[in-house]
Each structure stands twice: as structure tokens, then as C-alpha cells.
Structure 1
Amino acid sequence: MVKAVALNTLHVCVEAGVKNENGKVVKPAKINVVGPGKIFDIDEEGFAEFEAAGVARRATKKDVAAADPDGQTPVEPSAPGETDIKKK
């Protein structure tokens, strides 16, 4: 697992949804919304995808120290908007 900092709002798929043979959703996907500046844990593969897209970076010791108990670091009011990267 990697401790990462979200640079944009990220929608992270925690658990994929399930469809029946007719294509109807029988179990919706579980999605975590991670706001800008939030420190979160993600696997290496997911982190590599977010890092390549420029929407997350590894958390430094300074980031962890500056974060509140919920993992939120101070963010400038002009922080970027939302980014949605769909998992394959």
C-alpha cells in the first residue's frame, strides 16, 4: 500500500459492481470520493495510474505531519477541480 495525496478530487473504486446476465446492476460499485489534499491509502497499481495522470503523488513525512486526524492537509482555495479515472 502507498500513502498518497490527492491533487484533485478522485473517485476511487473500492469494490466493483455486479451485473446479472441481463445487464441489470444487482450490486452497485463502492466508490470512495477523495478530496484535494486528502492523504489516502491505495495499492501500487492504482497509485501508478493516478500518478501517471498527474492527479496524485506520494505523501511525504511533511504531508503526514501537516494533516489533521482525518488525513486532510491544508489546501489552497484555488485547488483544481475533479478528475475521474475509471478502473479497467
Structure 2
Amino acid sequence: MSKPFDMELFLAGVPTGSHATRQRHVRQARIIQADIAKRWQLKTPWAWQRKHVVWFLGHRLDRRSDATRYYYLLTVRLLARRLEKSWVFNL
């Protein structure tokens, strides 16, 4: 039996800033993970490709405010930094 993926542990040490900011990044990363897992059955960020994250930013946030999309973009950049990927995203 495998343990569920712990996004908080995965992002530990990457986000900086206040406690509320770090918690927001973890919460948003869990939402990203859940949507990608539901769509492509990829449980961990290690299995993600850039196209999966682009799909999330483009299709799951299309009706959200500019501010919400910006905050998710910041979280995606932290995920890319943690994965040591050179992904570049534009809104």
C-alpha cells in the first residue's frame, strides 16, 4: 500500500514569504495536483510535463479573475523551480 503524495513536504523550503503565502501556495498546488491527477491520472508532479500545467492554466482558470490566475502562475513557477524545470509560462 502506497502513501498519498504529500504536496506540503514536496514544496517544503521552496516558497518564501509569510506563513499565509506559503499556505496559499500549498493549497493551490494541491488543487493543481488534483485536477491533473483527475484528467491524466498522474499522481505526482514528477510525472507532469509542461503541457499538463499549461492545460491547467488555460482550461481550469479560464473564467477566473486576473488576480487568481496570477497567483496560480506564481505557484506553478514554484513547482517548476522545485522540479528543476526551465518551464516558462505566459498568461
Q: Same fold (TM over 0.5)?
A: no
Larger RCO (CA within 8 A; separation ≥ 6): 1
TM-score by length of 1: 0.27
| Greater per-residue strand proportion | 1
| Bigger Rg over Cα | 1
Scaled by the length of structure 2, what TM-score is found?
0.27
